[in-house]
Each structure stands twice: as structure tokens, then as C-alpha cells.
Amino acid sequence: MERIKSYTSEQKKKIGIFVLLDIVIVNFSLLAAVCLWYGGNIPGLPGGHSTVIEGGVWHWYAYAAPVLTPLCIAVYGMFRFYSNLWKYAAIEDIYKIVIADSVIFALLFCIHCTVLKNYVDYDLPKRLLMVAWFIDVVLFLFSRSGYRIVKRFFISLEHIITKKAGCRRVLVVGAGYAGYNVIRSILNAERGYENRTPVIILDDDESKNNTNIMGIRVTYNTANIERLVKDYEIEEIIIAVPSASNAQLKRIMDFCTHTDCQLKMIPPMSDISDGGYRMLRDVDITDLLSRDEIKLDVKSISGYLQGKTVLVTGGGGSIGSELCRQIIQFAPKRLVIFDVYENNAYELMNDLKNRYGGDTVVEVYIGSVRDKLCMERAFEHIRPEVVFHAAAHKHVPLMEDVPEEAVKNNVFGTLNVAVCADRYGTERFVLLSTDKAVNPTSIMGATKRITELIIQKMAATSDTKFMAVRFGNVLGSNGSVIPLFRRQISEGGPVTVTDKNMIRFFMTIPEASRLVLQAAGLGKSGSIFVLDMGEPVRIDDLARNLIRLSGFIPDKDIQIVYTGLRPGEKLYEELIMDEERESLKMVYKNKIFVAKPVDMDFDAFEKQLDRLYDAAYNDPDRVTDIIREIVPNSKLGGR
């Protein structure tokens, strides 16, 4: 009784209609079976069968109907047909219908053999019940899913027409102002919206369910994207929710990537200029992985950047250049881009001057961090108050072949910059480290772990605040997997994935840069800051999503080939070492954590560095063995 009360009045009305419909269907099925059994003549009418048969049938039916009707409703109720959502019916529901009707007519036959034959002089043919069973199954199925069959017919017809017209069938996500403009632009065949036909609109606002925009139906719940794509044979999805948060967009896009549709979107509000509601762009892989924008503590960052001279080593690289773009917004007095490669540094300098101008002096200093004399002259000339050290070799497989070069650049390049920072009174030195430094299996990762130890050693004796920021892979950075996948897709494949189970942490370049700036304003010298990288991403999923975003179907249009782990690679990366785990503390909005430095013997470490330097420049075959001594938790292979 309590269950009945829990139904809404609309649900009760719907159940009542289905109950009446089922009563009519089951009785009609039995009558139709009798009619068909006796050659199409309805007993009792002129031209019918003999009076004995006619009377027997009608007499039997008068007893059978009051038994069959409640029996039907009871069995359907037991099978929960009156609480089923028939628009989502699957093949399992058809099996249940067949079983339920079999139970109903089997019970009717048993009741006839045990009870009704005592009151009715009629020998019931078993095949007559089988005919009635078949008719009832067909009519029941049509009563529940007939509208889907009819709808599918008209959808297929419409699809044939639109195909002939060369139009893509579009599902629009978002029934707001942006969604309205998308529909209007498609219907008016405006530039960029040609050769499309809007089929249905989807929104997460339940109040908009079953409304329409310019004649196009609006339905509810973006979780239904995959089903709607199949039902309406959608070929393209346009996401028109520019005011949605990154988390909301990511949720919608996760549903979209389970389809084979092309994806387009209206850019987020932050990217929209005047008239931007009509813009349309491809969905990028960064849209699938980005999180809500990080709100920076502007005051703490301005406190150490505003009016200061800032040096960014590796400033022309993907991370370094974005750091420069973020730094200049905090009005430093002078920003120096230090890089060995002049082209990128020069272009970045011009871009920063044109875009921001103002009172900040932007300069380029060409040189290598490996050159001790060069670094001395640079610091003497620049006198930086804040240093961000982003210069490093970072290609894991390449560094396995030449570990001495990784040592020269990553280890002793960092040492050169750190020593100069101490000598010339730099206030703050920030090392950009990597998750590959944790329990490293590669030369690159091990050298970055050594740089973290260098920072810890310098912090123990220097007035300069030395700190390191550790994070994972950055989307779109030079040498990252995304540009490789894009190139392979543009060439028609195959896309090469090292291992189906490989996972990595990812964040966007702007997100990583903002967190680096924020971390630099926190904590004391010697700290290792760990950035929250969100949920790890399976590289196989990343490749498949990128193929879909490029308009292809994985394993059909573009093949994926698994090549096996390369030297130095892990199946998964870690952000924290076991010895750091207990001391880990959150210091900024669940986004930045700080790990307590491990205990170390600084004198022994200096001697190890001397031996490593000698090996790198004079005896490269010894380099890997010495790295193993310095980083005992490393798992390096042989050279």
C-alpha cells in the first residue's frame, strides 16, 4: 500500500491506462484466436459454426474471461511491467514479456483442466491458446514500444532525405541563449553552420523538457547523449553552454566521447568576444581534461613579483613561455627570458611587448645553463631577484641513450644557476621538477630527483629561498604525446601507444604555470611543492578520444598499435615518495601540497656530485652507476 502511495498522480494515471489497455488486449487476443481457429467466423453470428461448438465456446469464454483478466494483471504486476520505463526497453524486456505471457496462458490451461471443464462442456484445443498467446505477445509489445518503431521509421526517412541533401544531423547541447543562436544559425545556413540540420536539443534543466526552440524539440538530461545519438542517428554534436564550468563541460564531453560523432562547441565565456555566441570551434583534447580555473591569491603573488627583476631559464619553451605570460601580468620591473634557442625567445619577447607593453622591461638573454661562466655573466648583468628554473632536457627515451648529457644539463645546469642565485643575492629560486623524479626508472627522472636534492642542500646554507615544484605531464608542451598523436592521425595512422594500461597525470600549460606561481609565494626555503594533478588519464583513452575529436573512428578509420614500454618508462607515475607521504600537508585550496625534505648527508652528497661531474665529462660509462648511488630508490636499467 505504501508503494502505491509513493506514485505521483500522473504515474497512477499512466498505470491505470496500461492496466485497461492490457485487459482489452488479453481478451481481444483470446477472442481473435477463437475467431481464427474457427475459420474466420465469429461464433454466434450468421454463417458461424454449429450451435454446439458456438455454445461451448461462448460458455467456456464466459467462465475463462473472469479468470484470465485478473490473472493477466497479477502476472504483469509481478514482472513489474507497470513500473518499467518502456522507452528504454531492451532485448531482456522482450524475453520477460514472452515468459510472462507464457505463464498466463499456461495457468489458464491448467485452470481449464482442473476447474473449468467441470462447468463447461467444451474440449479446448491447446493450439487455440498458442494462437492467443502469440497475438497477446505481439499486441503487448506494440502497445509498449510501437511508438518507438513508428518514430524509428520517420527518423530513418528523415535521415535519407537529409543525407541526399548532404546535411549532417546535429544534436545541440544547451537550450539557452547560445543554443538558440546555434539553431537559428543552422536554420539560416549562416557562415560556418552550412550543411547541417538540427534534430534535437538536450539540456540539464528539467523545466525545459518537452519544450521547443524554433520547432526543434528540447529533451532533458545530458546523460542520455549516447542513447539519443543512436535513436536519432546523430552525426555531429554542438555543445552550446559557454557559461558552464570546466567540470560541467568535462562531464558533457565525457558522454560525447562515447559516441562516434564529430564534436563542435561554442567557446567558454572567458574566450568569447562580441558576437562570440555565433562562433563555432572544434573540441580540443584540453577541453576534455581541463578542470575548473584555479583562483589565484593575487596578493601573495604580487608581493614577490611586482616591481622585481625576474629571470626565467628555458623561457622560450612551452612551460617557460607560459610562465613569462603569467608573470608579466603581475607588473615586474624587468622580465628576462633566458634560453639557448634564440628564435622562440625572440618571438616571445615581441609577443609580450605587443600584448602587455607597460612599464615592464622585457629582454632576451641567449646562453646555456651548462656554461658556468655564461651564468656568472648573466647574473652579474641581470641581478635577478626571482628565478624560475625551467631549463632542462626532458625527453625520457633520448636521455637513456646519453645519460651524461642529461647530467650536464639537468644536474649541473641547475647547480650553476642555483650557485649564482645564492652568490648574487636572489630572493627566491623556484625549480620546476617532475613526477618522474619520484622512484625514478629513467635517467631523466633520476637527474630531476638530484636537482631536488641540490635545492634542499642550497636551502640549508643560503639566504635565498630555494624551493621546487613537482608536477606531471603538461598538455601540448613540446615533446608531449599530444603533438605526436596529432601528427600520426593527420598521416592516417597508426597511432602508437606504448601500453594499453599506461596512465599519466595531465594538466594544461596555463594551469601548471599558475600553480607554480602560487606555490612560489608559499612556504619556507627547502620545500618541495606537489601540485594536485587530478585523476590520472589512461593514454589509450587519450589516443582514442583524440582520434574521435579528429572526426575518425578508432580501430576502424585509424588503427591503434601498442609498441611496448620504451627504456626508462613506467606504466604509471607517482607524485609522492613513500618517505614523504606522512609529512605531506595541504597548503593551498586542495591544489598545492608540501612535502618535508628527506634527511641527507650534505658532505657526502657534495662528494657524489664531484664524482658525477667527473664521470659526465671524462668517463660517461660510470654515470649511471653513480646516479644509482645518489638516488638509491631509482630503478635504472643498464646503459
3-state secondary structure of 555: coil
Count of other CB atoms within 10 angstroms of residue 432? 26
Residue 339: per-residue pLDDT = 95
Burial of 373 (0-12, 13-18, 19+ CB in 10 A): exposed
Residue 274: which H helix or E strand, with range?
Answer: none
Beta strands in 89-209 (DSSP E): 168-173, 196-203
Calculate the average pLDDT of the chain: 81
CATH for the 166-283 domain, from 3.30.450.20, 3.30.750.200, 3.40.50.300, 3.40.50.720: 3.40.50.720
Residues 6+ apart with CB under 8 A from 244: 252, 268
Question: Per the structure block, which three cell numbers stand in for 218?
Answer: 528540447
SS3 265: strand
CATH of domain 298-630: 3.40.50.720
d(CA 510, CA 530): 16
Cα–Cα distance measured from residue 135 to residue 126, given in angstroms and rounded to the nearest whole number? 15
186, 215 contact by CB (below 8 A): no
Q: What is the pLDDT of residue 45?
A: 40
Question: CA 56 to CA 49: how far, in whole Å?
Answer: 11
pLDDT tens-digit series, residues 326-378: 999 889 999 999 999 999 999 999 999 888 877 889 999 999 999 999 999 99
Q: Do 520 and 469 form a contact (C-beta atoms < 8 A)?
A: yes
365, 430, 489, 597 from 422: Cα distances, Å: 20, 13, 48, 20
Q: What angle do CA 276, 279, 281 make, to 5 degrees?
A: 135
Residue 558 has pLDDT above 80, yes or no: yes
Helix or strand (DSSP H, E) at 103? helix 91-114
Residue 388: band (very low, low, confident or very high) from pLDDT cuts 50, 70, 90: very high
**Cβ atoms within 10 Å of 354's Cβ, excluding its own:** 8
Cell of 168: 549532417
Between 101-115, 444-458, 560-574, the lowest mean confidence (pLDDT) is in 560-574
- Tens of pLDDT, residues 456-487: 999 999 999 999 988 777 776 666 777 888 88
The residues that bridge with 430 in the sheet, in sequence order, are 388, 467
**Cα–Cα dist 135/129, whole Å:** 10
pLDDT for the residue numbered 121: 62
DSSP conformational letter for 183: H
pLDDT, tens digit (0-9, with 9 covering 90-100), for 256-277: 888 888 888 887 655 544 444 4
Count other C-beta atoms under 10 Å from residue 358's C-beta.
Answer: 12
List CB contacts of 328: < 8 A, sequence separation 6 or more: 335, 352, 356, 360, 362
What are the Cα distances from residue 175, in Å, to 204, 225, 242? 9, 14, 11
pLDDT greater at residue 280 or residue 120: 280
Give SS3 for 4: helix
CA distances from residue 616 to 404, 409, 412, 481, 610 in whole angstroms, order as listed: 5, 10, 10, 29, 10
From CA 318, how far away is CA 341, in angstroms rounded? 12
The three cell numbers of residue 632 are 638509491
Within the chain, all domains assigned CATH 3.40.50.720 are found at 166-283, 298-630
φ, ψ (nearest 5 deg) of residue 563: -100, -10
Banded pLDDT at 389 (limits 50, 70, 90): very high
